[in-house]
Amino acid sequence: MRTARTATSSCAPSGDCNLSRITIFGAGAWGTALAITYSAAHDVALWSNDAVHAGLVRGSRTNERFLPGASIPDTVRVEADITAACEGMELAIIATPVAGLRETLQRLYDLAPHVPVLWVCKGFEAATGKLPHQVVAEVLGDTGYGALTGPSFAQEVAQGLPCAITLASPDIEFARDWASKLHHNRLRLYANDDVVGAEVGGAVKNVMAIAAGISDGLGFGLNARAALMTRGLAEIARLAEALGGRRETLMGLAGMGDLILTCTGDLSRNRQVGLALAEGRSLPDILRNLGHVAEGVLTTQVAARHAADLGVDMPITRAVHEVLGGRMAPRSAVEQLMARDPKVE
């Protein structure tokens, strides 16, 4: 078993001498956006498990497959060899979908078992129903770790547009330390110690984005969208509490902020799924043409299962689950939700 060597201290082009060597695992949209952002102040490597894709990105300094139009600085090392990517690493950021998280962690553990880890994937592991931090703890043990989550589109981050997100870790000092080290004048980080609440917010808001896309696609209007988002936030908070999170976390960036962005922004993949469902397109066709992973599809299944097991009332999640499974028409699902008996809020 091999550990990463200590990086040599040096200064970034900006003059910042508190430079860290960061390896980003996953050369999709988010991995590329973070590599672009952090290369201004850190030594960054971007790893792809596809050697052909890595070669194209390295040669063109663009990622036309996942983040077209964004220019990747020459200082970013693009690697297909994971051993080379880990050389000198001081921080690992995993930017794969949730489905690739465990495998990437296992490979990382073999090369650098004690390096701190952050991740940007949002959802549940399909087979186990576990949140990402549970998978990380299971594979890496007591290594310092945290989730980067909140209202953020990769395209805008790559363009250097202002953004604020949460770095959530069960160790608040770890969260504060890395939030400080990764602070960027266009990507502000807020430390939080409620990793469960932050992750549930980041995962289940994708379910609500599918619902909002369906409602908008059917022309139900802005009032209906606002109702879905508000009641959706209540569902997310109930599930977060049942899983051990804090309700107040869902009032911040990792909950309300992410929900607003994903339900209203046209760059949202999950919103696009809902819009396409409203057009009558089949789910396999939608996912085939999307070109990216829409985490909300698998998240819906796991969230519905958790809700049933824990006795948590999640009517919007149940309705989306029925639509995705082909057991209910999109219009019927929205109409059924709006026709529910009145309750005290």
Structure tokens at 63: 């990622």
pLDDT exceeds cutoff 70 at 11:
no
Task: Report the run of H or E that residue 62 belongs to, with start and end.
Answer: strand 62-63
With 0-12 CB in 10 A as exposed, 13-18 as middle and 19+ as buried, what is 201? buried
pLDDT tier, 7 (very low <50, low <70, confident <90, very high otherwise): very low
50 φ, ψ to 5°? -110, 105
80-107 burial code (b ≥16 CB/10 A, e <16): bebeebbbebbbbbbbbbbebbbebbeb
pLDDT exceeds cutoff 70 at 150:
yes
Residue in 294, 296, 298, 316 with CA at minimum distance from that of residue 307 = 316
Look up tokens 């939080």; give the residue: 192
Q: What are the chain's domains?
A: 21-193 (3.40.50.720), 200-338 (1.10.1040.10)
Q: Largest alpha-carbon pair distance within the chain?
A: 64
Distance CA 177, CA 195 (A): 16
Residue 267 one-letter amino acid: L
Q: What pLDDT, on the 0 to 100 scale, is given for residue 8?
A: 33
Residue in 122, 130, 181, 205 annotated catalytic: 205
Let me know if 205 is a catalytic residue.
Answer: yes
Q: What pLDDT, on the 0 to 100 scale, is given for residue 290?
A: 86
- pTM for the model: 0.92
pLDDT exceeds cutoff 80 at 329:
yes
43-79 burial code (b ≥16 CB/10 A, e <16): bbbbbbbeeebbebbbeeeebebbbeebebeeebbbb
pLDDT exceeds cutoff 90 at 193:
yes
Question: By three-state DSSP, how is residue 181 classified?
Answer: helix
- Residue 126's alpha-carbon distances to 26, 199, 302, 310, in angstroms, are 19, 15, 7, 17
The mean pLDDT value of the chain amounts to 92
pLDDT tier, 339 (very low <50, low <70, confident <90, very high otherwise): confident
- The 10s digit of each residue's pLDDT in 247-271 is 999 999 999 999 999 999 999 999 9
Distance CA 316, CA 189 (A): 30
Structure tokens at 169: 């870790």
Beta strands in 169-262 (DSSP E): 187-192
- Residue 106's alpha-carbon distances to 56, 127, 340, in angstroms, are 26, 17, 46
- The 10s digit of each residue's pLDDT in 266-325 is 999 999 999 999 999 999 999 988 877 788 899 999 999 999 999 999 999 999 999 999
Look up tokens 């990086």; give the residue: 7
